[in-house]
Chain A
Amino acid sequence: MGADFVRVRFAYSKRRGACFIPHAELPTLFARAMRRAGLTLELTQGFSPHPKITLGPPLPVGVVGLFEVAEAWVSADTLGSFEGVGGHLPQGFGIGPHAPVEGPSPALSKLCSAGEYLIGLAGVGPLEAIPEALGAWDGAHLLRGLDVQGGMVRFFMLEPDSVGPSAVVKHLISMGVASAWSDLVFVRVRLGGWDESRGFLDLLPYDSPWEV
Chain B
Amino acid sequence: MEEIGYMHFTDMDDPRWPLWASVKRPSRYVGGEYGLLPPKEGDVVRVCLAFPDVYEVGMSYLGFQIFYQLLKENPLSDVERAYCPWVDMEAAMRGQGMPLGSLDTGRPLKEFDAVAFTLQYELSYTNVLTMLDLGGVPLRSSHRGDGDPLVLAGGPGALVAEPLAEHVDAFLIGDGEVLWPPVVEALHATRGMDRERRLSALSRLEGVYVPSLWEGQTIRRQILRHLDRGFIPRRMIVPSCGIVHDRVAVQVFRGCTRGCRYCQAGMIDRPVRERSAESVARQVRELLDFTGWEEVGFLSLATCDWTQLDRVIQELRPLLSERGIKLSLPSLRMDAFSVQLASSLETMRKGGLTFAPEAGTQRLRDVINKGVTDQDVDTAVRSAFEHGWDRLKLYFMMGLPTETREDLEGIGEICRRVLKIGRSMGKRPELAVSLSGFVPKAHTPFQWEAQASMEELRERGRLVKSLLSRERAVKLSYHEPAQTFLEGVFSRGDRRLGPVLEEAWHLGARFDGWTETFNLDNWLEAFHRCGVDPGAYTAARRVDEPLPWSHIDPGVSIQFLRMERERALGGARTRDCREGGCNLCGFHLRSCPMIESARGGEGHGG
Contacts and interface: CB of A to CB of B under 8 A. Distances in A.
Contact of A118 (B1, B7, B33, B289): B7
Interface in A29-72: 29, 31-36, 40, 43, 49-51, 61-62, 64
Contacts of A5: none
A187 B27 CA distance: 18
Interface stretch (B8-16, B165-173, B296-304, B509-517): B8-16
A182 B32 CA distance: 21
A29 B33 CA distance: 10
Given A31-B294, A32-B238, A20 B4 contact: no
A17 B22 contact: no
B32 A49 contact: no
Interface in B234-275: 238, 240-242
Given A21-B241, A25-B240, A89 B2 contact: no
A70 to B, nearest CB: 15
Interface string A1-23: 00000000000000111111110
B14 A182 contact: no
A212 B8 CA distance: 7
A122 B291 contact: no
Contact of A15 (B5, B11, B31, B324): B11
B26 A20 contact: yes
B7 A88 contact: no
Interface string A139-167: 00000000001111000000000000000
B589 interface: no
A187 B9 contact: yes
A125 interface: no
Given A22-B27, A180-B21, A16 B292 contact: no
Given A18-B30, A21-B241, A61-B26, A34 B6 contact: no
Contacts of B27: 20-22, 25, 61
Contacts of A123: 2
A91 interface: yes
A120 B292 contact: no
Nearest to B10: A16
Interface in A91-119: 91-92, 118
Nearest to A150: B5
Size category, B interface? 35 or more
A181 B12 CA distance: 12
A129 interface: no
A185 interface: yes
B4 A151 contact: yes
Nearest to B22: A182
Nearest to A49: B324
B20 interface: yes
Nearest to B349: A49
Given A25-B242, A29-B240, A17 B9 contact: no
Contacts of A15: 11
B34 interface: yes
A91 B32 contact: yes
Nearest to B7: A212
A147 to B, nearest CB: 12
A22 B8 CA distance: 24
A181 B34 contact: no
B3 A16 contact: no
Contacts of B1: 122, 185
Contacts of B240: 18, 21, 25, 29, 90
A92 B20 CA distance: 15
B2 A88 contact: no
Contacts of B21: 62, 180-182
Contacts of B478: none
B4 A150 contact: yes
B30 A21 contact: yes
B180 interface: no
Contact of B5 (A19, A32, A33, A152): A152
A123 B349 CA distance: 52
B292 A36 contact: yes
Interface string B169-183: 000000000000000
14 contacts: A20-B29, A20-B30, A21-B30, A32-B238, A32-B293, A33-B34, A35-B292, A49-B349, A61-B26, A88-B292, A122-B12, A152-B7, A182-B22, A185-B9
Interface of B: 1-12, 14, 16-18, 20-22, 26-27, 29-34, 36, 238, 240-242, 289-294, 323-324, 349
Interface of A: 15-22, 25, 28-29, 31-36, 40, 43, 49-51, 61-62, 64, 88-92, 118, 120, 122-123, 149-152, 180-182, 185, 187, 209, 212
